[in-house]
Structure 1
Amino acid sequence: MKLKQAIIFSVAILAGGACLAQSDVKEDFKPSTLNQPGQLYPQVNSQGYARFRIVAPYADSVKVSLGLGGRGGTKLTKTGDSVWTGTTEGPMDEGFHYYHLTVDGGTFNDPGTLNFYGSTRWESGIEIPAHDQDFYALKDVPHGNVQQILFPSKSTSTSRRAFVYTPPGYEKDKSKKYPVLYLQHGWGEDETAWSNQGHANLIMDNLIAEGKIKPFIIVMTYGMTNELKWGHLKEFKVDSFQTVLVDELIPYVDANFRTISDRAHRAMAGLSMGGFETHSITLNKPDVFSYYGLLSGGIYTPEELGGKTKPKLIFISCGSRENPDRVNDAAAKLKDAGFNVVSFVSQNTAHEFQTWRRSLHELAPLLFKD
């Protein structure tokens, strides 16, 4: 049956984790921190369960889907003439998750929550409080700025967008120059991901306030990945994005920001698909970047790095629910071959933003130390 009037949604999502009996679920639910102003649902409890309430009087079925591409999910139960309610069957992983609703076969976002670009569309988002969330919390410390820039791209015959994080104090000391990290999003996301979903700016602000890192600039741009269909990663060609990044964006940033514009003070890293881009571009252009970071984005081997300008640091990471043995084994082989490499495994997370938030938090203090 088709919907005959507007549907008011408020929802949460199901994710992996051990299930408890419903009688063991604590009744300390609170609205998700990503809810729209004044919206009470979805709600999350201290165990990581999510509870939802949807007003959809003319719907015959409602399902909550989650994760990249909307895999998984749970069916909701109609408890009255208009209301669909329920609690997830198990606790969700800590951190950020995408989700959407399937109502009578149609895909909808939840007006109860904010939207985030992922899975090649604007998806609803929910945040499960993490035990270590303090490192990306909004604190009373000096804050940097995240600004949008539009840079000319002759290779694509258009102006392209990037977001640039400048650290606290950048506007005051006009003589100081900074290293730069080019930080890439994953497949189906865009240049807003690292700031909105990843809290990269807050991670940086807090590390700088704690004196744990040397301040640097972060540049985040669209990786030209959304044209690639899911499951066809091997067909992706990095050439066009490499031209945009190396020949157009980097010169623009160096000309318009106070950067230290040499290889020794330039890094590239990316999550998932952004890691694939990082891997390819750093191997193709070893004289452009000196620090490499693959966050759930594959590995390097000594053989493919052989004969090229040696990086100052290689950082590879993943979640413990991904393929940590591959990451650790790769790091061991690179160390044996004489490379400076650090591996990191995020505990109890998978291919998700909590893994990548933690990875950036580990990577940042390792950059530009000399």
Structure 2
Amino acid sequence: MKKLTFLFIIALIFSLNINSQTIITTNNDNSSIGTSASSNVRTSKYPLILPDSRAVFHVKAPEAQKVQLDLGKRYDMIKNNEGIWEVTTDSLTEGFHYYTLLIDGVAIADPASETFYGMSRMASGIEVPFKGDGYYAVKNVAHGDVRMKRYYSSVTKTWRRVYIYTPAGYDADVNQKYPVLYLMHGGGEDERGWSTQGKTDLILDNLIAEKKAKPMLIVMVDGNIGNGGFSESSLKAFESELKECIIPVVEKEYRVKTDSKNRALAGLSMGGIQTLYAGVKNTQLFSYLGVFSSGWLPNLNGVAEAQYEFMKNNSDLINKNLKQFWIAQGGKEDIAHKNCQIMLSKFNDLKIKYTYSEYPGGHTWPVWRNNLYNFAQLLFK
């Protein structure tokens, strides 16, 4: 009997270790089973996501006097006898969250997490799963590539870069040309955002495999140009960069179709403002516009008013040229919701045709991933 009991214990220990992603942790409340976040570095066990979507964070800093977790809300971490600081958060909403560790007042990225460019700096991130995330899961389908392309900007007089998604099979058929979506990130992020935080390649791989979207190139643009993303001078510089540098480079070096019905322009937050500015007055270049979690800001030195005047004088042309003017928000909790509603009211007065959509979640990446998922299905058909 003792031998059987011993063998049972050994088998139990082995079964707990056979899957390093699911482990048991002792936190301030009780012992719970959790799953390592997919955004962790390699085999890092923490951050650990509990079944109720709370998360456990660890950091080893034996000499520190005070350690906090900044996850939008700040949490004080508690040190154990081994010099490891730990905290369990409140239940977190689905999707991607930036976070920072504050060690004796100094903000650092968590060495256990992948880092992402967001909040205008490198930050840690945690991915909280949810039932509806299957559309950007890695599946057994044909996968495209994400390529990085450097180009010289005649606008900024510097070398810049774009990230480009090419669909599966792009290199196989050298005679096939593709439509292209130019896609912009939000403030505090850069051209990497849609690829890493946004899961663009996985979303398109799955849509194309299911024949829900046309095979297309997606050019992920760096919208950080000029002296600030929302100023009129920066918007003008962005428009010039797009028309004079990015589109010519893409159309010269990649197999893309070059007429307006095969070009789309979209962006989130700051990128949505850039889409409005560069897209509405250039409908001869783009037949599809997507504005995610955005709307004209007040006090932009008359930029919105000037566009409204242009739209008033060109409403028939805009409505004729645009096959889709798709505007989406993350519900009433989206920080851009009020500005967007004011803008849409103005569009109604000007008789501008558009499609409006909401997906709950506020001003966050789960919303924008869902926006891309839905917008991509409307393109080039």
Normalization by structure 2: what TM-score? 0.82
Q: Which amino acid aligns with 2:295?
A: G
CA distance in 1, matches of 2:54, 2:31: 9
What is the deviation of 1:356? Answer: 0.2
CA-to-aligned-CA distance 1:181-220 (integer Å, 9 cap, x gap)? 1000111111111010000111000000011111111001
CA distance in 2, matches of 1:246, 1:104: 47
Q: Does residue 42 of structure 2 align to residue 37 of structure 1?
A: yes
Q: Does residue 309 of structure 2 align to residue 307 of structure 1?
A: no
What is the deviation of 1:283? Answer: 2.8
CA-to-aligned-CA distance 1:259-285 (integer Å, 9 cap, x gap)? 110112111100111111111111342
What corresponds to 2:107 in structure 1? 107
What corresponds to 2:53 in structure 1? 48
CA-to-aligned-CA distance 1:272-310 (integer Å, 9 cap, x gap)? 111111111113423221111111121699765333332
CA-to-aligned-CA distance 1:93-142 (integer Å, 9 cap, x gap)? 10011111111111111010101111111111100002111000011101
What is the deviation of 1:167? Answer: 1.1
CA distance in 2, matches of 1:297, 1:203: 22
What corresponds to 1:239 in structure 2? 236
* Structure 2 unmatched runs, 5+: 1-27, 297-303
SS where residue 246 of structure 1 aligns?
A: helix
Q: Which amino acid aligns with 1:197?
A: Q
- 1:65-144 → structure 2 map (5 Å cutoff): 65-66=70-71, 71-88=72-89, 90-144=90-144
Of 235, 248, 253, which residue of structure 1 is paired with 2:250? 253
- 1:273-284 → structure 2 map (5 Å cutoff): 273-284=270-281
Q: Which amino acid aligns with 2:101?
A: L
Specify whether residues 45 and 304 from structure 1 end up closer, same or farther in structure 2 by C-alpha distance, changes over 3 A only.
Answer: farther
Q: Which amino acid aligns with 2:91?
A: P
Q: Which amino acid aligns with 2:242?
A: L
CA distance in 2, matches of 1:28, 1:304: 58
CA distance in 2, matches of 1:100, 1:226: 28
186-195 or 326-335, which deviates more:
326-335
SS where residue 138 of structure 2 aligns?
A: coil
Q: Which amino acid aligns with 2:287?
A: S
Contact preservation (8 Å) 1:313, 1:339: no
Contact preservation (8 Å) 1:312, 1:340: no
SS where residue 368 of structure 2 aligns?
A: helix
What corresponds to 1:345 in structure 2? 358
What corresponds to 1:8 in structure 2? none
Q: Which amino acid aligns with 1:86?
A: V
Of 265, 268, 288, which residue of structure 1 is paired with 2:265? 268
What is the deviation of 1:158? Answer: 2.1
What is the deviation of 1:325? Answer: 7.2
Contact preservation (8 Å) 1:327, 1:343: no
SS where residue 131 of structure 1 aligns?
A: coil
What corresponds to 1:361 in structure 2? 373
Q: Which amino acid aligns with 1:319?
A: G
Percent identity reads 36
- 1:151-190 → structure 2 map (5 Å cutoff): 151-190=151-190
Contact preservation (8 Å) 1:269, 1:294: yes
Higher relative contact order, chain-length normalized (CA < 8 Å, sep 6+): 1
Superposition RMSD in Å:
2.4
277-286 or 30-39, which deviates more:
277-286
CA distance in 2, matches of 1:307, 1:235: 21
Normalization by structure 1: what TM-score? 0.84
CA distance in 1, matches of 2:362, 2:280: 27
Contact preservation (8 Å) 1:264, 1:290: yes
Specify whether residues 224 and 234 from structure 1 end up closer, same or farther in structure 2 by C-alpha distance, changes over 3 A only.
Answer: closer
CA distance in 1, matches of 2:258, 2:344: 29
CA-to-aligned-CA distance 1:53-107 (integer Å, 9 cap, x gap)? 22111111111112xxxx432111223351211210x211100111111111111
What is the deviation of 1:317? Answer: 1.0
Contact preservation (8 Å) 1:49, 1:91: yes
Q: Which amino acid aligns with 1:115?
A: T
CA distance in 1, matches of 2:226, 2:187: 6
SS where residue 29 of structure 1 aligns?
A: strand
What corresponds to 1:19 in structure 2? none
What is the deviation of 1:235? Answer: 6.7
Number of residues paired by the alignment?
A: 338
Specify whether residues 84 and 355 from structure 1 end up closer, same or farther in structure 2 by C-alpha distance, changes over 3 A only.
Answer: same
Higher helix fraction (1 or 2): 2
What corresponds to 2:16 in structure 1? none
Larger Rg: 2
